[in-house]
């Protein structure tokens, strides 16, 4: 089973609820070395205007919109979708009372909307999970209005390589980063999107992590259940290794390679 793109695994295990994703969001939120907020930068690139109709597929917990909620136009219409019903429900709980938002479960390969429905579409950090990426890209293009913009952010091949090296050291790396970025990453995104979009622009976000708490990093590692294979005994060894590095250096350094990908 390729857990990176196995839809049953994604729906019933990795993204059954928002807990695993939230553990990863919290690590980036608390320990990123770039003081600027990545999700604010991302929304700034979308040039959202009054009355726009916006869709996000693979919305997760809706973090990008939660961060920017007070900055959004008052009459924006936002449709947030996720393959997982549990994840869509987690996103819904973050926007109670905000009538701009609607939520549903949906598959990026078969979007339940007519042609030319949205001014802007987002598919951030999720296309590498889709079994048929080309079909998903065609669907994203289909539901966009003429002149509409897609935001399909992703990671590069060197993203969090230091953490992957740690997992490799203990023989636990079930799904290497290439399993993600080899399917859809910063390096190959222009070629993949060029099948349906005339223009593609990548805006790198220079950042890293300096993690000063072992438990927060362990929460991240445990959140990758099914993607990284591990046993309790090996997890304890990893935790001791992280403890040693934090004690010696003040923190565990993890390089990041990520960026906004725009297509129109």
Band (10; pLDDT cuts 50, 70, 90): confident
pTM check: above 0.85 = yes
Q: What are phi and psi of 255, to 5 degrees?
A: -75, 145
- CB contact at 8 A, 157 and 185: yes
d(CA 52, CA 211): 39
d(CA 219, CA 28): 12
d(CA 261, CA 121): 12
- CB contact at 8 A, 230 and 172: yes
d(CA 165, CA 91): 32
Q: What is the pLDDT of residue 9?
A: 85
**What residue segments make up the domains of the chain, in order of their start?**
7-157+175-205+257-263
d(CA 183, CA 143): 23
Q: What is the mean pLDDT of residues 177-191?
A: 91
Asked whether the CA dihedral 99, 102, 43, 69 is positive or negative, the reply is: positive
Q: Which two tokens stand for residue 49?
A: 């205007």
- CB contact at 8 A, 140 and 117: no
Question: pLDDT tens-digit profile of 190-208?
Answer: 999 999 999 999 999 999 9
Q: Which fold has domain 7-157+175-205+257-263?
A: Rossmann fold (3.40.50)
């Amino acid at each position: 089973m390729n857990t990176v793109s196995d839809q049953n695994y994604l729906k019933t295990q990795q993204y059954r609820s928002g807990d695993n994703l939230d553990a990863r969001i919290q690590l980036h939120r608390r320990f990123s070395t770039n003081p600027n907020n990545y999700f604010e930068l991302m929304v700034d690139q979308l040039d959202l205007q009054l009355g726009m109709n916006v869709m996000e597929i693979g919305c997760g917990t809706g973090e990008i919109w939660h961060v920017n909620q007070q900055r959004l136009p008052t009459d924006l219409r936002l449709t947030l979708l996720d393959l997982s019903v549990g994840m869509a429900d987690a996103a819904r709980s973050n926007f109670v009372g905000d009538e701009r938002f609607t939520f549903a479960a949906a598959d990026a390969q078969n979007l339940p909307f007519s042609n030319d429905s949205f001014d802007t579409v987002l598919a951030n950090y999720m296309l590498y999970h889709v079994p048929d990426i080309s079909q998903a890209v065609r669907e994203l293009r289909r539901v966009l209005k003429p002149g509409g913009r897609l935001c399909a952010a992703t990671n590069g091949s060197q993203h969090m390589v230091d953490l992957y090296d740690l997992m490799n050291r203990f023989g636990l790396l079930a799904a290497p980063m290439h399993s993600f970025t080899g399917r859809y990453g910063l390096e190959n995104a222009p070629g993949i999107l060029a099948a349906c979009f005339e223009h593609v622009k990548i805006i790198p976000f220079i950042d890293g992590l300096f993690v000063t708490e072992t438990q927060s990093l362990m929460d991240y590692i445990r959140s990758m259940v099914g993607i990284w294979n591990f046993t309790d005994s090996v997890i304890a060894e990893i935790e001791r290794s992280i403890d040693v590095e934090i004690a010696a250096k003040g923190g565990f350094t993890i390089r990041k390679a990520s960026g906004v990908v725009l297509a129109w």
